[in-house]
C-alpha cells in the first residue's frame, strides 16, 4: 500500500475516532487560536498526562491564550504504534510513547534497549540531554516526526503473580509479556523466561485472565494502571531506563511563527523538567502505596546474575541501532 493510500485509510478511521474521543478530551478551557491535539496511551493520573496539562497551562499563559492543547488520554486515538503513525500523518500533533515502538520507525532508538545501561536518573538525564541523545532524537527528522525531548517512563522492574524472583533461574516457565520489540524479547528469553509481545492497552486483561504470568515496566506506571490488582510480586531489577520520547508533527511545528515557536520550545523545556520531577515522586509514592505487593530488593550479586545473562544482547542492539552509535552511548554512560 502506498504511503498516500495508507494515509487516507488511516485518516478515514481517525476521523471517526477523533469525533468520538473529542467528547472525552480533558482540556476544557476556552478554545485557543492554535490547538495541538495531544494524545497518549496512559491514564489521566499518569505523569505524562499531568505534564501535558502543565504544557497546556504554560502555552496559554505565555501566548496570552492563543496556543493550547486538547488532550486525549487512555489510547483514545490509538495505542503507541498507532499514535506514532498518527503523528506522521498529521492526525495527532503531540504524543509521548515508549522508545521501543519508536525503534520500529527509527532503529537508532534500539540503543536505549541495552540492558543495565544506566545506574541512576542523573546519569540517564546527562546522556539523553547530551550529544548522543540529541543525535538519536534527530534520527526522527526524516521519518515524518520531530523528537522534542525525552520525558521519563522510568526504570523498568520485573513483576509477576506467582512468586518472589531473585535469580534468572526463578524465571523458568513464566509466561512474560514484553513490548513489541525484538531486543526485549531476546533479552527475556536469555534470562530464562517465556516472552511474547502484547500491546500495552491489552495488558491488564491479559494478566487478569492468566494469559501472562509476568511483565516488566516502571513502578509508577504499574500502580497507575492498577496492575497491583493482578500482580503481587515486584523484583527491583532496574534492568532498563525507559525514556518517553516526546514527538511532534513537523507540519504543525512549521505552521508556527518564529515568536510562537519560541514560546512553544520554552514551554516544552519547562514541561520536561516538570514531568521528570513528577516521575521520581510518582515511583516513591507508588511503592509506598502498594502495601499489597511484595517488593524484592536484589543484592549486587543477584543483579549481576541477571546482567551476565544479557551481555550478548549488546551485539543484537548494535546490529539494530548501529555499532558506532551504541559504542558512543556506552562511553557516554560510563
DSSP state at residue 110: G
Residue pointed to by grid coordinates 543495565: 116
Residue matched to cell numbers 506514532: 84
Q: Which residues does 309 contact at the CB level (< 8 Å), separation at least 6?
A: 168, 190, 191, 192
Q: Radius of gyration (Cα) for the chain, nearest Å? A: 20
| Structural domains of the chain sorted by starting position, each given as residue range(s) with its CATH number in brackets | 3-325 (3.40.190.170)
> What are the backbone dihedrals phi and psi of residue 32, each rounded to the nearest 5 degrees, phi first?
-80, 170
pLDDT in tens, the chain (334 residues): 444 444 444 454 554 455 445 444 555 457 899 999 999 999 999 999 999 999 999 999 999 999 999 999 999 999 999 999 999 999 999 999 999 889 989 999 999 999 999 999 999 999 999 999 999 999 999 999 999 999 999 999 999 999 999 999 999 999 999 988 899 999 999 999 999 999 888 999 999 999 999 999 999 989 989 999 999 999 999 999 999 999 999 999 999 999 999 999 999 999 999 999 999 999 999 999 999 999 999 999 999 999 999 999 999 999 999 999 999 999 999 9
**What angle separates helix 323-332 from helix 131-138, to the nearest 10 degrees?**
140
The two beta strands, 67-72 and 146-160, are: unpaired
Q: Is 98 helix (H, G, I), strand (E, B) or coil?
A: coil
pTM, two decimals, is 0.85
Amino acid at each position: 500500500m502506498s504511503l498516500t493510500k495508507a494515509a487516507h485509510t488511516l485518516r478515514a478511521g481517525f476521523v471517526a475516532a477523533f469525533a468520538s474521543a473529542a467528547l472525552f478530551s480533558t482540556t476544557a478551557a476556552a478554545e485557543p487560536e492554535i490547538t495541538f491535539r495531544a494524545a497518549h496511551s496512559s491514564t489521566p493520573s499518569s505523569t505524562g498526562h499531568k505534564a501535558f496539562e502543565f504544557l497546556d497551562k504554560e502555552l496559554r499563559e505565555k501566548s496570552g491564550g492563543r496556543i493550547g492543547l486538547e488532550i486525549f488520554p487512555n489510547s483514545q486515538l490509538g495505542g503507541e504504534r498507532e499514535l506514532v503513525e498518527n503523528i506522521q500523518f498529521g492526525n495527532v500533533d503531540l504524543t509521548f510513547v515508549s522508545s521501543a515502538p519508536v525503534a520500529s520507525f527509527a532503529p537508532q532508538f534500539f540503543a536505549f534497549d541495552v540492558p543495565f545501561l544506566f545506574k541512576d536518573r542523573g546519569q540517564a538525564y546527562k546522556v539523553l540531554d547530551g550529544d548522543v541523545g540529541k543525535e538519536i532524537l534527530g534520527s526522527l527528522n526524516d521519518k515524518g516526526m520531530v523528537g522534542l525531548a525525552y520525558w521519563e517512563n522510568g526504570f523498568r522492574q520485573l513483576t509477576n503473580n506467582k512468586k518472589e524472583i531473585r535469580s534468572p533461574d526463578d524465571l523458568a516457565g513464566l509466561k512474560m509479556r514484553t513490548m513489541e520489540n525484538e531486543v526485549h524479547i531476546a533479552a527475556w528469553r536469555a534470562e530464562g523466561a517465556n516472552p511474547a509481545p502484547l500491546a500495552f492497552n491489552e495488558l491488564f486483561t491479559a494478566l487478569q485472565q492468566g494469559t501472562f504470568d509476568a511483565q516488566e515496566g516502571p513502578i509508577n506506571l504499574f500502580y497507575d494502571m492498577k496492575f497491583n490488582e493482578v500482580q503481587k510480586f515486584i523484583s527491583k531489577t532496574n534492568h532498563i531506563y525507559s525514556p518517553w520520547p516526546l514527538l511532534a508533527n513537523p507540519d504543525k511545528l512549521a505552521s508556527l511563527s518564529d515568536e510562537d515557536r519560541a514560546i512553544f520550545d520554552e514551554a516544552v523545556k519547562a514541561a520536561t523538567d516538570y514531568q521528570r520531577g513528577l516521575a521520581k515522586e510518582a515511583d516513591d509514592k507508588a511503592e509506598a502505596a502498594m502495601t499489597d505487593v511484595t517488593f524484592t530488593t536484589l543484592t549486587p550479586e543477584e543483579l549481576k546474575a541477571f546482567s551476565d545473562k544479557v551481555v550478548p544482547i549488546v551485539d543484537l542492539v548494535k546490529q539494530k541501532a548501529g555499532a558506532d552509535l551504541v559504542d558512543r552511548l556506552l562511553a557516554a554512560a560510563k
